[in-house]
Amino acid sequence: MKTGKLLAAALVMALGAGIANAKIPAPVMDDAAKAKAEEAKTKAADAAKKEAELLAKSQDRVADRYKKAQRKSAKPAPAAKGAKPAAAGTKK
């Protein structure tokens, strides 16, 4: 009895998984819809490029301010973590 219920549950789950993984075909787009989609794609790419440029500029400004502050306090900027001097790796 329990085996029958277990097999029935496994069968239902297997069929459900098969249906859930079925691909739905992409809708057919006319020329106007294709043009609109292409325009939206181009706008999104331009916006992402502008955002990346703004981020790079702001990061440069922050780095410059940090370097100036370090020069004023006469402390050298710390080396990157994990950086090794060039001569350290040449043991014989």
Residue 25 in domain: no
Residue 67 in domain: yes
Alpha carbon 29 to chain centroid, angstroms? 29
Residue 62 in domain: yes
Q: Is the pLDDT of residue 88 over 90?
A: no
Q: Dump pLDDT digits (tens) for 27-61.
A: 788 889 899 999 999 999 999 999 999 999 999 99
Helices (H), ranges, the chain: 2-20, 31-72
Mean pLDDT across 69-80: 74
Cα separation of 72 and 79, whole Å? 18
Residue 68 in domain: yes
Alpha carbon 82 to chain centroid, angstroms? 25
**Total structural domains within the chain:** 1
Query: How much is the pLDDT for 92?
Result: 47
